[in-house]
Amino acid sequence: MEFKNKVAIVTGAGKGIGFEICTNLALEGATVFLNDLDEALAIEAAKKINEKTNGQCIAMGGDSSDVVFIQKMVDEAVSKFGKLDIVIANAGITLYGDFFKYSPESFFKVMQVNLGGTFFLAQAASNQMKKQANGGSLLFTSSVTGHQAHKELAAYGMSKAAIEMLARNLVIEVSPFKINVNTIAPGATLTERTLEDPKYTEVWNQLTPMGRPAYVSDIASAALFLVSDKAKHITGQTLIIDGGWTCISPAPF
């Protein structure tokens, strides 16, 4: 029970990587606030986790890029449990589009969710954690597309690279308060969304040096390590979890 008595918030966690992270945190003893924009999905996801973990997951449906809602999540955790130990800014949006025709609406939506949501959640969480004797841990979700260019993902890749720089910069700001901050950068991963493409697994089996895309458990294991007490002296770092893809980067198109 590595995370016993820990209180965590995870955004964008109704399914996929976020859901797996919440499940594993709860199984290891944490109380987890599971956020998703789709409130019904958040409630259903929390219910599934609580069936395995004796009620250690609390649904928080709402827009994780809205600063008022962000503060509400932090306040809810603190009012119920008196502290906030772990925050994982996992929510993100991918909007593909031709650079020459990419709309301002799509661009600013990607920046609002991916960058704004991460920045202001980190801010709200850090303001709480700096009051605590033991600080806390922040973790952001980036992507291999923040390291390697990908067709029709200029805005998305830009936002993910910026998230990694945010983590590096926050080392200056939050380290004096015993808060560490890191980023995970998943590569191709088998989730409900990616498996909508019937060729996804076959393509990424061929492109990934380790012979397969990541499972959500691969990403969650890395995430849990970086927010654990074992990693308290690791900060400002990005951990790429891609089976070696970025070392050779064959394009999927």
**What band does 53 get if pLDDT is binned at 50, 70 and 90?**
confident
CA angle 14, 91, 37 (to 5 degrees): 55
| Contact in structure between 189 and 240 (CB atoms under 8 Å) | no
Smallest CA-to-CA distance from 179 within 168, 171, 167, 187 is with 171
User: Which residue among 15, 160, 178, 230 is the active-site one?
Assistant: 160
**φ, ψ at 236 (rounded to 5°):** 75, 15
pLDDT confidence tier of residue 36, bands split at 50, 70 and 90: very high
6 part of the active site: no
What does DSSP assign to residue 213?
P
Alpha-carbon span 35 to 8, nearest angstrom? 11
CA distance 58 to 54: 11
How far is it, in rounded angstroms, from Cα 122 to Cα 116?
Answer: 10
User: Is 156 known to be catalytic?
Assistant: yes
- Sketch out the chain's domains with CATH numbers: 7-242 (3.40.50.720)
Type of residue found at 177? F
pLDDT in tens, 230-250: 999 999 999 999 999 999 988
Mean pLDDT lowest among 12-21, 48-57, 69-78, 208-217? 48-57
| Candidates 47, 48, 96, 156; catalytic one | 156
Are 49 and 75 in contact, with CB atoms under 8 Å apart? no
Predicted confidence (pLDDT) per residue in 90-132, tens digit? 999 999 999 999 999 999 999 999 999 999 999 999 999 999 9
Residue bearing tokens 């709309």: 103
Q: pTM of the prediction?
A: 0.96
Judged on CB neighbours under 10 Å (0-12, 13-18, 19+), 23 is: buried
